[in-house]
Chain A
Amino acid sequence: NAGVMQNPRHLVRRRGQEARLRCSPMKGHSHVYWYRQLPEEGLKFMVYLQKENIIDESGMPKERFSAEFPKEGPSILRIQQVVRGDSAAYFCASSPNPGTFTGELFFGEGSRLTVL
């Protein structure tokens, strides 16, 4: 089991461009979480998704940010018209069905976005 896979590991964008970050959950996991870590800060919850459904997006900025987890393929976090303040590490985690959630989230290695 390869674990949670995120790509790209590093992404550099100029202000105004779009950033797309991908996350493939662990095999057998149907739930994906995105967290953001700003420099010198902790992990901040952004969004929680299951296949084709957003469960909780209370941590997502109101504009420019969107997330999806299609029936086929990885979950994607999309940031439009990036600004310097979007520079951060974005972590994806997955879990099995919440009915069996034990509090253990399995994390990817993160995608580090740098906005020039």
Chain B
Amino acid sequence: AQRVTQPEKLLSVFKGAPVELKCNYSYSGSPELFWYVQYSRQRLQLLLRHISRESIKGFTADLNKGETSFHLKKPFAQEEDSAMYYCALGNNAGNMLTFGGGTRLMVKP
């Protein structure tokens, strides 16, 4: 069975502070991991995928298979980063995503 755990429901930081949103997964196959974001009054949308090794809006995430983690990081948080963030795990068949419980990030001025 695949499972995604985001231990923090809420993370509150000040503008300019570093941010790390934690994500741990459980999966017997080769994992494909993603971060999705939902800004206020907007649809849930893809932020980044581990396979791309990309930095989007200053965010990065590294897949650590040893620790089964895929934490999302940004060195300097901005107020516009305030949103709901979901970590997601894709199955090997490539047709389904399992989401974590989400973490609400609040960046205070």
Q: Are B95 and A107 in contact (CB under 8 A)?
A: no
Closest chain B residue to A91 by CB distance?
B44
Contacts A98-B95, A103-B34: A109 and B43 contacting too (C-beta < 8 A)? yes
Whole-angstrom distance between the alpha carbons of A44 and B102 in the complex? 11
Q: Closest Cβ of chain B: how far from A42's Cβ, in Å?
A: 3
- Asked if A35 is at the interface (CB within 8 A of a chain B CB), the reply is yes
Whole-angstrom distance between the alpha carbons of A109 and B95 in the complex? 21
Whole-angstrom distance between the alpha carbons of A49 and B32 in the complex? 21
Q: Are B49 and A102 in contact (CB under 8 A)?
A: yes
Size class of the B contact interface (CB-based, 8 Å): 20 to 34
For A, the interface residue count at a CB cutoff of 8 angstroms equals 27
Which of A3, A33, A108 contacts B96 (CB under 8 A)?
A33
Q: Are B99 and A31 in contact (CB under 8 A)?
A: no
Closest 4 CB pairs of A and B: A42-B101, A43-B99, A98-B95, A107-B44
B89-107 interface mask toward A, CB cutoff 8 Å, 1 = contact, 0 = none?
0100111111111100000
Q: Are A48 and B95 in contact (CB under 8 A)?
A: yes
| A-B residue pairs in contact (CB < 8 Å), sample of 30 | A3-B43, A33-B97, A35-B99, A42-B6, A42-B86, A42-B100, A42-B101, A43-B44, A43-B102, A44-B99, A45-B96, A45-B99, A48-B95, A48-B96, A55-B95, A56-B95, A91-B44, A95-B95, A98-B94, A98-B95, A99-B94, A101-B90, A102-B49, A103-B90, A104-B34, A104-B46, A105-B46, A107-B43, A107-B44, A108-B43
